[in-house]
Chain A
Amino acid sequence: MIQFINVSKSYDGDIVLKDVSFTIEKGEFAFLTGPSGVGKTTLLKLIYCAERADTGEIVVGGWDLKKIRQRTIPYLRRSVGVVFQDFRLLMNKSVFDNVALALRIHDMHPQEIKQYVGDVLREVKLKHKENILPEHLSGGEQQRVVIARAMVSKPTVILADEPTGNLDADTSKAIMGLFREINARGATVLIATHNDSLFHGMGRRVFYLKDAHIEKEVVE
């Protein structure tokens, strides 16, 4: 599903990733960990083409990202739901409109949008706050809106960048529960985090990123 073959990336001579290779199978739930600034976000960005690799090959759900054309990138991104570290919510739009945006991009019928968004907001337990602006929500609630937006279009891959970054333990647990549900429905999930308590005891593959390469890959 996600395959990296000798991928390298540097910014102005600073090597961020060097000869990184790994494979994540379809329907897998995996973690990417390492200290802050090690290149986790860059690696995720390479998957949804927000950055392009200097060398190496990346294949995501059959898309060869080395050959992908500018105008095809939106279609790749529609199959990859991303939970951004900085949320990227539109503060002038309601919770409903933020989530619906992902479906409007898919040119879905308004009636279907209403139904899909309603369902997904119920799942993340925010249906009662659908008309509220994001600024009136707590950090945990905003994070759930972002997850709802990422999952509403039923993408085959979900990427999450530090999804529990500023959240308390209980909220983090609830968020992780949501990702497990998404994965149980068949989506491939890759979570980048420096918080090892998120994956300890889960029995999932964890990729340790250190000094610009995958240092080890273990099941925890």
Chain B
Amino acid sequence: MAINLYYYASPATFYQLSGKLIPWFGWSAVILTVIGLYIGFFMAPTDFQQGEAYRIIFIHVPAAWMSMFIYLVMAFWGAIGLAFKTRLSFMMSRALAPTGALFTFIALWTGALWGKPMWGAWWVWDARLTSELILLFLYIGIMALWAAIDDPQRGDRAGALLTLVGAINVPIIYFSVKWWNTLHQGASVSLTKAPSMAKIMLIGMLVMAIAAWLYTIAVALYRVRTLILERERNTDWVKALVEK
């Protein structure tokens, strides 16, 4: 089956398609969250070093992964938008930012609540924590820039440019635990070595991470549909849709 990508890149078709997809992503996210929490709280054992406090990991790590990953996806759509002048790409970028900021905040918040009992401090100016905080400021800065520029096209381009420049921060966050001597522990899961945690803990964390993914897709699609309506308000299809 040949899928014509240009067909789906049209806001009108994308609006219809995404409307059908949102419930699937949303409900799968809910189901996986329930499964992930069950594994995290009822199947995963107590950690021999950290006791029950480690259970924060089931939201901390997925949130931290999403905070970085969403930023990269935003930068990707920004680059596509700048290169091909595709309207929908910029809208995708805008639709992802608030959710990226949400996960960054959660990563920092749960990190503080984990740091206090384990390190004795809510916050330390260590490389991992500081670069993650910069990520939050980047998200907020980009959203503020979009909000400040009235002309959508100019705003899109300026926001995409700032997003791309800020993307340099993502590898800094990721490798910070390797490059600097940080209080934050190194990666528990990486592509190059076997994970340094019990299998059931890992499974719980991965299920929660997939749930976070599906949630992100659902809310980003929901947000982009509202953006499409605003931007395309003078087209016949939006006018027809509004009249219904």
- A, B in one complex: no
Which residues of A are interface residues toward B (Cβ below 8 A)? none
Which residues of B are interface residues toward A (Cβ below 8 A)? none
